[in-house]
């Protein structure tokens, strides 16, 4: 459900959610899942021993816009949220099927507007770990606290995430500047227990 370059190819264009846009896959076709499984297998073969697998699941701009999706929503078989969660679970299950020691990761942005009870009911937290998506130049303790009150990540939303997901991942992309000695990507695995925000100072500083 990310921007699939593969959907730009004519051979796979029939798997688009919307015919004219190659950035969202049709989640209802079994062939879509076969294609994704093939891609997962290729990545796993090239990265033996990995512990996490990022399946994206963000920027699904045209999810629900395809004919099949509209029909299912009209028939009340799916809502946009349940359609999204169903597909994420299917992809995560494909990752875990032959790689039980690998944990699927997804971007958190689409989860923010999903009702907490629906998230719990989906059991999505047993399959994936969400990674916080937010462009902030500094990821330190004050800014980690900010994620629990930031306008685009409301306090309620993050409490929801903590309740529904035992682990949150924080991602930061830093560019070269006077304050940064090296260009790097920092991946923070932060175990979000109830007292995380008050007690993560030493953890985040690596002490």
Mean per-residue pLDDT for 7-17?
Answer: 95
> How far is C-alpha 145 from the geometric centre of its chain's CA atoms?
21
- pLDDT score, position 15: 96
Residue 59: pLDDT band by 50, 70, 90 thresholds? confident
Give me the mean pLDDT over the 132-150 stretch.
56
**pLDDT tier at 69 (50, 70, 90 boundaries)?**
very high
- State the pLDDT at residue 5: 85
pTM over cut 0.95: no
Q: Which two tokens stand for residue 175?
A: 């560019």
* Residue among 207, 141, 138, 140 nearest 177 (CA): 138
Q: Which of 26-30, 56-60, 78-82, 167-171 has the lowest mean pLDDT?
A: 167-171
- Chain centroid to CA 202: how far? 27
Q: Tell me the pLDDT tens digit for each residue of 103-140.
A: 999 988 888 888 878 888 888 988 998 887 766 666 55
Is residue 111 a contact partner of residue 119, using CB atoms and an 8 Å limit? yes
Give, in order, the Cα–Cα distances in Å from 46 to each of 2, 41, 43, 81, 140: 20, 9, 5, 33, 33
Task: Tell me what the mean pLDDT of segment 87-103 comes to.
Answer: 95
Catalytic residue ranges: 59
- State the pLDDT at residue 103: 94
What tokens were used for 182? 């090296």
Task: With H, G, I as helix, E, B as strand and everything else as coil, classify residue 50.
Answer: coil
The predicted pLDDT at position 70 comes to 96
Q: How far apart are CA 63 and CA 70, in angstroms?
A: 10
């Amino acid at each position: 459900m990310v921007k699939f370059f593969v959907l730009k190819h004519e051979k796979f264009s029939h798997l688009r959610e919307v015919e004219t846009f190659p950035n969202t896959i049709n989640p209802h076709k079994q062939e879509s899942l076969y294609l994704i499984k093939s891609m997962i297998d290729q990545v796993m073969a090239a990265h033996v021993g990995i512990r996490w697998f990022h399946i994206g699941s963000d920027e699904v701009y045209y999810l629900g816009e395809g004919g099949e999706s509209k029909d299912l929503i009209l028939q009340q078989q799916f809502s946009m949220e349940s359609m999204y969660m169903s597909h994420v679970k299917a992809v995560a299950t494909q990752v875990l099927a032959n790689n039980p020691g690998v944990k699927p990761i997804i971007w958190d942005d689409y989860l923010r507007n999903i009702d907490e009870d629906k998230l719990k009911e989906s059991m999505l937290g047993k399959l994936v770990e969400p990674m916080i998506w937010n462009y902030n130049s500094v990821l330190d303790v004050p800014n980690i606290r900010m994620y629990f009150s930031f306008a685009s990540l409301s306090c309620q939303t993050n409490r929801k995430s903590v309740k529904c997901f035992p682990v949150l991942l924080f991602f930061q992309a830093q560019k070269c500047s006077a304050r940064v000695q090296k260009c790097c990507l920092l991946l923070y695995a932060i175990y979000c227990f109830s007292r995380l925000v008050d007690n993560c100072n030493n953890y985040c500083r690596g002490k």
